[in-house]
Structure 1
Amino acid sequence: MTSLELEALLGLLGHARHIVIGTDSSSRPDAARIAEAWGGPVLATVTWPETAASWLRQARRFATPEPEAWVVSATPAGWAGMARRLVLSTAWSPHRTFATAALAGYPLPGLRGAHADGTTWETR
């Protein structure tokens, strides 16, 4: 994650008072950078594997605190199963979710994020 990407991601979070961070195993360092830079309350940090039987346990932990915003730092492969489970089994909303550059263009309407160059993106 670049400094510009991190700055843009924090800007997208706007005036959110608290967040939940989600990450796959390979993106943990970026998730830690986000938490440190955020400086506000992180209600939970949830890590999931790229492959799992269902991701239900992780999805419930990610969605349950009902934060003002969710932040995702994951690879497309690591996010695919988790996103599917969130849509099917929780009240999670992609419209309140912000992601790192790795998920730019991920086919989930409402998901927003930051590119490495500091510009932002939104899936429609």
Structure 2
Amino acid sequence: MPKVGFLPNERTVDVKAGTTLLEASRKAGVAIRTRCGGNASCLMCKVHVGPGQGVLEPSAKESYKMGDWTKHHQRLACQTRVIGDAVVTLPEDPLKAAVRAKLEQLKKEKQEKDNDRWE
């Protein structure tokens, strides 16, 4: 059985060949955002699958939906089928990314303010 690893969650799951990455993520308890239920219509389940991983090439449907993104190893988890061992990197949740960016900005502003105080 192929093994699928999910980063940054560091979870691995055994799946049957032909399982989609979305199905594998659910089995592993890893949340991948989707709104369409796996029909490739919402494009929310984008993941990074590096070269040489055990997944099928993009289908015509996925290639049509994703365009050049598949050339950058971005795939739709709902359409990408596992045929061997693979490691998948999940993008950062947009809300978490916005919060992280705001916290970093506030930290930088505080450091600048503290530096000005000591000069």
Q: Verify same fold: TM over 0.5.
A: no
TM-score (norm 2): 0.28
The structure whose residues are more often strand, as a share, is: 1
